[in-house]
Amino acid sequence: MTVEDPGIGRRVREIRVRRGMTMSVTAGLAGISQSYLSMIEHGRRAVEKRSLVEGLAEALRVSPAELSGKPCPADDRGSRLVAAALDDIGDTLTGWWVDEVPEIAVRPWEEV
């Protein structure tokens, strides 16, 4: 997955400074060099990989979405299946209004 958002570096710096973390400590926790983190924060390097967003987010104790400004979908098949199932559940839960009678036969609870 490619993230490539120029605002990530700015958000990383804001969160890092707000938490009182040094660039050296943050880079070490994220598994990158201090110079690379500096380039990201100053917009000279784009964050193009999901793994880097996740590493920075973990180092700063925030969600990847807080850095990227949007959800970071999972890359593995199992997570994609779970996300699809959650979408289906949401559609099912919001598909009917209270007291609305669906035009399908009601199944006994044991079958459900």
Below-70 pLDDT ranges, the chain? 1-6, 70-80, 96-98, 101-102, 106, 112
- C-alpha span between 96 and 44 (Å, rounded): 50
Say what the pLDDT of residue 74 is: 54
DSSP result, 89-104: HHHHHHSS-TT---SS
35 exposed, middle or buried (CB, 10 Å; 0-12, 13-18, 19+)?
exposed
Helix axes 23-30, 34-41, angle to 10 degrees: 100
Rounded-to-integer distance, Cα 68 and Cα 28, Å: 20
All structural domains of the chain, each given as residue ranges with its CATH number in brackets, are 7-68 (1.10.260.40)
Write the pLDDT tens digit of every residue in 71-93.
Answer: 655 555 666 677 777 777 777 77
